[in-house]
Homo-oligomer: A and B are copies of this chain.
Amino acid sequence: MPRGVDVARLAGVSQKTVSRVLNNEPYVSTEVRQRVLAAAEQLGYRLNNAARALASGRSRSIGVVTLGTALYGPASLLMGIERAVRATGYALRVVSTVEGDPTGIAGAVESLLEQGVDGIVISEPIDEGAELVRADVPVLVFGTPLPFSAPRVVTAGVGSGELAHAATEHLLDLGHATVRHVAGPQRWYAARERLAAWRAALAARGLGEPPVVEGDWSAASGYAAGRRLAEDGDLTAVFAANDDMAIGVIRALLEAGRRVPDDVSVVGYDDVPVAAYVTPPLTTVRQPFDAVATAGLQLLVHAIEQPHEDLPQAPDHPVELVVRASTAPPPRKTPGRGRATSG
């Protein structure tokens, strides 16, 4: 591997000037700049990242803690983060945790700190007990300020709240007497936020709160939840915390003889790409992952590079209720079937 001095020799300048050129620093004449670039090109020279990081004290990289799942939401957010990180000129390092991992988020953060990242992104905050996560670099959390100890903690919202609210209201506006909720796993911030918004929407209309069924985001758990919901003879509207569970719910309802949306309306969350094509097409909520990631990363980079300035606040992002065929007004005559017992 050629080094900076090799380029310098070939271009007839000092190593420092090579460094200047390759870092786009001012005070280099155009002519020298050209010579250096030509020499670097000729030798196939690349700056040595380790040496740069050691000399400058910054690694120019950002670490992200993600969940080891291919779930649409987390995967989309991760891809949004990747693009946003690259746009800021930083490199991306990824560590995943799995639910139930004993070291959890704290362990993942620790491993990123060992790698020397300049900042950390927690993409899907989940509660792994009461652990306090310590970091010596700025941290960006999507959703909620976990118990973090770090120089700067930045929070960027994904706007789940208001939209889960809107999803519930959409069902109520259609005339449903109430809305049942299939929640996500409550250790996830995203799941808690959606549950709270559903609750708030019911409360705003003075409605009581029917029992919540909790799933694990999977279609299988949605199916199980749907079987339980089907025992409710008065059921006409369901809000599921993500699309996969909504699809499972719909399948269970169909198998129980409930038509969707004729008998029961179902709303999902995420707008997965197949949502428009399943039967029936799913009413759902679309999240602007890219915009959220971009905005969050701008805050994080600001926190990294201007450690003493105040942080601007993250803007809210337009979220969108996508109404499709899985929601309709409730049936005229409620079927009034008796409540079946499980077994």
Contact = CB atoms under 8 A, between A and B. Distances in A.
Interface in A51-102: 51-54, 59, 61, 66, 68-70, 72, 75-76, 78-79, 82-83, 86, 91-96
A114 interface: yes
A122 to B, nearest CB: 16
A232 to B, nearest CB: 20
Nearest to A81: B94
Contact of A83 (B68, B79, B247, B248): B68
A93 B86 CA distance: 12
Given A86-B95, A247-B274, A254-B279, A54 B59 contact: no
B72 A70 contact: yes
Contact of A247 (B50, B79, B113, B278): B278
A220 B273 contact: yes
Interface string A110-142: 010111100000000000000000001000000
Contacts of A49: 50, 53, 59, 114-116
A218 interface: yes
Total copies of the chain: 2
A281 B251 CA distance: 9
Contacts of A248: 274, 277
A219 interface: yes
A16 interface: no
Nearest to A63: B91
A94 B48 CA distance: 18
A239 interface: no
A273 B274 CA distance: 12
B82 A96 contact: yes
A51 to B, nearest CB: 5
A70 B79 contact: yes
Contact of A47 (B46, B53, B114): B114
A219 B277 contact: yes
A66 B115 CA distance: 21
Contacts of A51: 50, 54
A93 B93 contact: yes
29 contacts: A1-B136, A46-B113, A47-B114, A49-B53, A49-B115, A49-B116, A50-B53, A50-B59, A50-B116, A53-B53, A61-B115, A68-B79, A70-B76, A70-B78, A75-B75, A82-B95, A91-B93, A91-B115, A92-B94, A92-B95, A93-B93, A219-B276, A222-B277, A244-B277, A247-B278, A250-B277, A251-B278, A251-B279, A274-B274
Interface of A: 1, 46-54, 59, 61, 66, 68-70, 72, 75-76, 78-79, 82-83, 86, 91-96, 111, 113-116, 136, 218-220, 222-223, 243-244, 247-248, 250-251, 254, 273-274, 276-279, 281
